[in-house]
Chains A and B, each alone.
Chain A
Amino acid sequence: MSTEIANSISIGRIKFTELERAIELVSQPSIEEEAKKTSGFKRTESEVRLENMAIFRAYLDNPQYRVYVARTPQEKVIGVMAVQIKRQGFHPKAPLCAFGSDLAVDPAYRRQGIARKMFHFLMDELRRAQVEYFTFTVRKDNERALPLYLDEGCQITEYVMMKEL
């Protein structure tokens, strides 16, 4: 596994001008393929794109959300991740918890340790923000993502189940 690119990338908060590229990454076909495996997926590609646009636009306005991007030395955005930080429960001293919603890497730059580097960066950011727990869902058969997260010390805590009527 080549880690040269992973070492050269820089990660930081998203700039407004990078929004469109970020949407492109989270709407890319390989991610949509994963989503389509979810039963009942009926949206078209443009619908998904528009919705992602609306969601990410809302993220930028909401201080609870943080969107980070990974850039090559040429400032090309090749990865994006979004996380929501909030207290779990209504108590003012309830632990701060972060909910991950997206982590996407450009297919041309996969298998080079970029997602892992982004994950490490995110963990450092969350620690700095005094977050105690980071939680997110992954499809149970996502063979690329699940091993990475388990290797990074994440543990499975709940099963999200469904029944078709």
Chain B
Amino acid sequence: MALPLPFRPQRFREAPEAERGRGDGIEIRRAQAEDVPAILELSEEAAVYSMSPLRPSDPQRARQIRRQDMASLKFQVRDPQMAIFVARTPEGRVVGEVVAKLDGRDFLSDQPQAWIFELAVHPDFWRQGIGGRLLYAVECAAREAGLECVGLSVTCANERANRFYDSLGYQDERRLLLKKLTPNLGP
């Protein structure tokens, strides 16, 4: 088993003033253990927005699944291969989070890339440029790790998110298709 690497907070540059938008006083910083409960809460809330209309599911169940998926977050915040950032108000309230890994690979080209698992901003703080600043932090961490690409997947029903990523230079490359299999009907 590999020994855990010593935790080194990675440096990142803040987005240029012009790109910051409003959101005065919001600080973006690398997530620490104390931020984990707040990240989980935001992430569960965001899970509802990520649900695909093709898979009818109970929002409560979606939250529960997201919580299970994020069970290892408390270890991941110490993992140098992860880039996890939070947006904090001056009062210390976590209002945004992004979780990405820096050791991903594209499955076709095998090119090393960062992969964003999720990004969420509290609805009260939407339209203040916080999501863009969180993404910027991940992109900086990826560049610092020598990566040339950042990838993510987004539910096509979430038009807000699609416009957001589009405006920040993300291009859609592949489509994820889904077929529902009904037992006794033909294809």
Nearest A residue to B184, CB-CB: A127
Nearest A residue to B165, CB-CB: A161
User: What residues on A are CB-neighbors of B148 within 8 Å?
Assistant: 40, 164-165
Cβ–Cβ contact B179 & A123, under 8 A:
yes
Cβ–Cβ contact B106 & A38, under 8 A:
yes
User: What residues on B are CB-neighbors of A155 within 8 Å?
Assistant: 54, 177-179
B135-153 contacts to A (CB < 8 Å) = 139, 142-143, 147-153
Give Cα A160–Cα B176 distance, bound, in whole angstroms: 7
Cβ–Cβ contact A161 & B172, under 8 A:
yes
Partner of B175, one of A90, A126, A131, A158: A158
- Most interface-central of B54, B109, B168, B174 (chain A CB within 10 A): B174
CB of B8 closer than 8 Å to a CB of A: no
CB of B52 closer than 8 Å to a CB of A: yes
CB of A144 closer than 8 Å to a CB of B: no
Nearest B residue to A158, CB-CB: B176
- The majority secondary structure among interface residues of chain B is mixed
Partner of B155, one of A41, A131, A158: A158
Cβ–Cβ contact A161 & B178, under 8 A:
no
User: What residues on A are CB-neighbors of B157 within 8 Å?
Assistant: 157
Cβ–Cβ contact B153 & A159, under 8 A:
yes
A112-138 contacts to B (CB < 8 Å) = 119-120, 123-124, 126-127, 131-138
Nearest B residue to A149, CB-CB: B177
Total residues of chain B contacting the partner, CB 8 A: 44
Cβ–Cβ contact B177 & A136, under 8 A:
yes
Give Cα A94–Cα B152 distance, bound, in whole angstroms: 24
Partner of B139, one of A35, A149, A163: A163
Cβ–Cβ contact B108 & A41, under 8 A:
yes
User: What residues on B are CB-neighbors of A1 within 8 Å?
Assistant: none
CB distance from A152 to the nearest CB of B (A): 6
B interface with A by C-beta (< 8 Å) = 52, 54-55, 65, 68-69, 106, 108-111, 113, 139, 142-143, 147-157, 162, 165, 168-181, 183, 187
18 other A-B residue contacts (CB within 8 Å) besides A160-B152, A165-B142: A38-B173, A40-B148, A42-B111, A51-B110, A89-B65, A133-B181, A150-B177, A156-B175, A156-B176, A156-B178, A159-B153, A159-B175, A161-B154, A163-B149, A163-B150, A163-B168, A163-B170, A165-B139
User: What are 30 pairs between A and B in contact, CB < 8 Å?
Assistant: A39-B109, A39-B149, A40-B149, A41-B109, A43-B110, A91-B65, A94-B65, A132-B180, A133-B55, A133-B179, A136-B177, A138-B175, A140-B172, A140-B175, A146-B175, A152-B187, A153-B180, A153-B187, A156-B156, A157-B178, A158-B156, A159-B174, A161-B172, A162-B106, A163-B139, A163-B151, A163-B171, A164-B148, A165-B139, A165-B148
A interface with B by C-beta (< 8 Å) = 35, 38-43, 51, 89-91, 94, 119-120, 123-124, 126-127, 131-140, 146, 149-150, 152-165
The 4 A-B pairs of least Cβ separation, nearest first, read A40-B111, A158-B176, A159-B172, A41-B109
